[in-house]
Amino acid sequence: MLVVRIGVLQSWLSERYLPFWEAFLRELGLEVIRPHREAEVPGLELPAPARTVVAEVSDLKAQGVDYLLLPDLQLGVDSPRAEGQSPWLVNLEAALSRFIPGMPPSLVVPAELNPDLLGLAAEIGQGLTRNPMVTRRALERTKYLLNPEPPRVRNPSGGRAVGVIAQPYVLTDPESRHRLVEGLEGVGLTPFFADLPPAKLREEGRQVAELDLPTHLEAAGMLRYLSRLGRVGGLVLVADEEYAPLPSVMRKWASKGAKPWRMVGLLEDWPPVFEALAAELPA
């Protein structure tokens, strides 16, 4: 009997949703396939977060998975506002299909966990196994994972701290984060990341502007929270109009604040911008 093979990502906020879904799929008796660590697509000129996820899905396709488990970053929320939207934000499957023809079919799940997902999990489990009893047993064994501990962010205690704001999948991308840390430390600055849970950051974001998309609210929440922290001397906003857009209202909000700030693009040369920001901060 052939076992259904489900490909899962190691990027694009996978740390927020994968602990439950990977365990649940394995309990269903399915084979969960991860991309190889060295997965890459030669010659692909994309910024790091997008390049990483395209390489992972290309690798999973080559491994012959039957389905892809993809995250819905917006948690089922649709927005009538066109500004600040991108397929990479609102429809990852569509964005990936531009680069990967013949992708396996996708199972799309919210990029966060909560107990309300039991119904969706049961639907997906029964669709994959055609066995309600197996699905029910798998849920009983894994449903505790739907109540995860909020992610913890560890920030250094010293140095000239600069708050970093971006779409959350940019900040969790290892290559992008390494560039940020290396670039800021190279000019004597210390990167400081918002250390509140995503839901709390979204609450903060609602005080910045009327935004619909959860990741926009989260990024706006980072901006408001870091702007009022006394130990944060300046701000860096990282954005890309196509791959990781930020709402324009965030620039206006940052401009009205008292702290020096800069915006950098994902494909931009960051050190000169960081040097200019460092020159505005007390030694």
pLDDT of residue 267: 92
Give the pLDDT confidence of 14-30 residue by residue, as tens digits: 999 999 999 999 999 99
Q: Distance (Å, rounded) from C-alpha 90 to C-alpha 67? A: 20
* Contact assessment for residue 73 and residue 229, using Cβ atoms and an 8 Å cutoff: no
| pTM score | 0.95
Burial code (b: 16+ CB inside 10 Å, e: under 16) for 191-227 equals bbbbbbbbeebbbbbeebbebebbbbbbbbbbbbbbb
| Fold equal for 5-146 and 160-280 | yes
pLDDT band at 85 (very low <50, low <70, confident <90, very high): confident
Name the nearest CA neighbour of 215 among 37, 86, 45, 29. 86
Secondary structure element (H or E) that encloses residue 251, with its range: helix 248-256
* Contact assessment for residue 71 and residue 108, using Cβ atoms and an 8 Å cutoff: yes
Question: With pLDDT > 90 as the criterion, what percentage of the chain qualifies?
Answer: 88
Give the class (CATH, top level) of 160-280: alpha beta
pLDDT at 40 over 80: no
For the chain, give every domain's residue range: 5-146, 160-280
Give the class (CATH, top level) of 5-146: alpha beta
